[in-house]
Structure 1
């Protein structure tokens, strides 16, 4: 997903282009998650007959412990480490409330009664410390998962409903805040991106497309749905998928990927 700098968004908001420009979505109570570190056992056993949609959200070490100070880069996502070396609960809660919780509510509306599990993972050498900020970040992330999935007991390739996303503190390529493999398993998203960046990239993993995004008229202005390829700066996000993309996600969940997948391959085409 191309990134429009937040500084420019702020300037446009000050000019009054849109009162809610860049506004964060409302928090979503009732969207539980689990946090584990490299020293913890990843819970894989599930009860019930339905395989859940599992979102494994990895926080890069540079998100947990930024190498630069806010004074050096005021637009970078920052949080301090707790005394025990783990990210404080406020770090993951802030990420969850801003980028994830509202989106999980929409997923639950699209997939009523279906189990959705969210797991945050930190401090996993080989995974959360990979080089980032370049055009091949997604490829490096995919390679790291293939290499270390068995080491950490990750259910990579166990189900098409398992998704693995790495959150990084800077762009993943030139003016790109995120990349994903269409209908695949892996995505990378930057926390300098818009609040719907995770929903956008994981949307690609679930079969949603740019082509089925839309612009909607609201009571007072227009908004763009989550899968919009290049957001218009003065339009707010709808914080919702279009009806067509909701159907795509429902079909993907219940029927599986539409794209052919060779043995040992989880990647479709790379999409922003």
Structure 2
């Protein structure tokens, strides 16, 4: 038994050394990045990849051009700061959050819209736009509890379900959020600042039972739950304050294959699954902003945000020009209410 305990101690010690080495490598890359950008932008320099970079070990030649203004706040209070530029000549976003640095390179440039070309028509779009049971009389955009004050920000609140498995905030930001806020800020340009809040482990909110009832009933119940939470923390539920429950598995009430999220169109609430495509958050929030499937585009070899999950196409990580306009017009209408 003593021999076994010694082996266990050695194993634990080796694991700690490995973790510490990885943390040091990550911190070294982040510290080098911070030192360069602190001197002012743009900056060009060589950057060793963070230890957990999915591309593997290496050194990138980067040009950091711009710091985005969009504020993204994570559950531990850390603020993700996103920069744009290039890595090895490819467009890229750089995310700094806590001690972590994450790099997302746009490795392929999408072509022009090929949606209408013969042989490249889309698969049927997922049935993720949910009409409430009172569709004839239900009227968004404004939700109960809205004040007469004009919203100063377009806010997105993402609640990570307790079973979502999302605990690495830097990776979550790099996969779903960094490129999306880049597109919102640089291309969509809604006309007011964008702010994103990520929340987890909130009793009565992130343990929400999204299996109960129909998909419409689940959305309506979560809208009430999330708006009550916003009110409790001093936020103002409004037509420009969007909420989402981010989950792992898809529930039965979403129907057949191909549905990886649901949303009430031109409303404030959505639910999205991490089993879906990389653009699933942008897609479902897009519905709440009046973006539409019919204006999604196939830009070989990728699809824009409002297209469904189509193998083998990956996410272009942009909305189409037509949906950009619909989003801008929606925000403008809400500000004029």
**What TM-score do the two structures reach when normalised by structure 1?**
0.62
Shift, 1:135, TM fit: 7.1
Please tell me whether residue 56 in structure 1 is matched to residue 134 in structure 2. no
Report the counterpart of residue 105 of structure 1 in structure 2. Answer: 182
Shift, 1:121, TM fit: 1.1
Unaligned runs of 5+ in 2: 1-53, 56-65, 77-149
Shift, 1:198, TM fit: 0.3
Q: Which has the higher strand share?
A: 2
Give 3-state SS (helix, strand or coil) of 2:244's partner. strand
Report the counterpart of residue 33 of structure 1 in structure 2. Answer: 72
Report the counterpart of residue 130 of structure 1 in structure 2. Answer: 208
Mapped partners of 1:146, 1:193: distance in 2: 25
Contact 2:151-2:240 at 8 Å conserved across structures: no
Contact 2:222-2:269 at 8 Å conserved across structures: no
Mapped partners of 1:155, 1:177: distance in 2: 31
Give 4+ residue runs of structure 1 displaced > 4 Å after superposition.
28-31, 154-157
Write out aligned runs for 1:21-100 (5 A): 30=68, 32-36=71-75, 51-63=152-164, 78=165, 87=167, 91-100=168-177
Q: Which has the higher helix share?
A: 2
Contact 2:263-2:269 at 8 Å conserved across structures: yes
Give 3-state SS (helix, strand or coil) of 2:169's partner. helix
More relative contact order, 1 or 2 (CA 8 Å, 6+ apart): 1
Bigger radius of gyration: 2
Deviations 1:153-178 (A, max 9, x none): 25787321100001001114232210
Deviations 1:92-148 (A, max 9, x none): 221111011101100001217631111111122221112235773553243144146
- Computed over aligned residues only, the root mean square deviation of the Cα atoms, in angstroms, reads 3.2
Report the counterpart of residue 117 of structure 1 in structure 2. Answer: 195
**What TM-score do the two structures reach when normalised by structure 2?**
0.51
Mapped partners of 1:195, 1:35: distance in 2: 19
